[in-house]
Amino acid sequence: MDQTREFLPLSIAVLTVSDTRTVETDKSGALLVGRIEDAGHELGDRALEPDDIYRIRATVSAWIADPGIHVIITTGGTGVTGRDGTPEAIEPLLDKVIEGFGEMFRRISWDDIATSTLQSRCLAGVANGTYVFCLPGSTNACATGWDQLIASQLDYRTRPCNLAELMPRLREV
């Protein structure tokens, strides 16, 4: 962490993908909102959509087009059951996929859930200068994703490099 650099708060939107959760019962979304705000970032928006690829795409597409949203984090819909379709909804929207994100997430998760980590189809990429991270729906997975991967990459002070400093919308800073 380079303390000589100023922290740059980002606007982050959170989408929970679930057929069963409500905003009141959405512990994973609430965990992410708390982590975002505790880190000094701003909650740009929050939504909950069912496991429907077109509704997921509509919400995420609107956020990608919004210049006020810098990052999107989804939780849920990354498994292998019949209705899990978050990766299928998101990947066509991405200009570039960050291949290492899913690999690193599964490696880190191995310590907690062993071979069950192969069921995680988490994904990350960039679309229109907006970073998109798709995490599994469990609170543990969201904590792992944020704490061990996403938080440091969205902190402009992280060295030797971070995703925040690559954002076209923040380059003039």
Q: Residue count of the chain, please give it.
A: 173
Counts of helices then strands in the chain (DSSP H, E) = 6, 6
State how far the Cα of 27 lies from the Cα of 97, in Å rounded to an integer.
Answer: 27
Q: Are 123 and 101 in contact (CB under 8 A)?
A: yes
3-state class (DSSP) for residue 11: strand
Q: Where are the domains of the chain?
A: 11-164
pLDDT digits (tens, 9 = 90+) for 67-97: 999 999 999 988 778 788 999 999 999 999 9
pLDDT of the residue at 173? 45
pLDDT digits (tens, 9 = 90+) for 129-151: 999 999 998 999 999 999 999 99
Identify the CATH assignment for 11-164 out of 3.40.980.10, 1.10.3720.10, 3.40.50.2020, 3.40.50.300.
Answer: 3.40.980.10
* DSSP output for 135-165: E-SSHHHHHHHIIIIIHHHT-TT-SS--SGG
DSSP state of 76: S
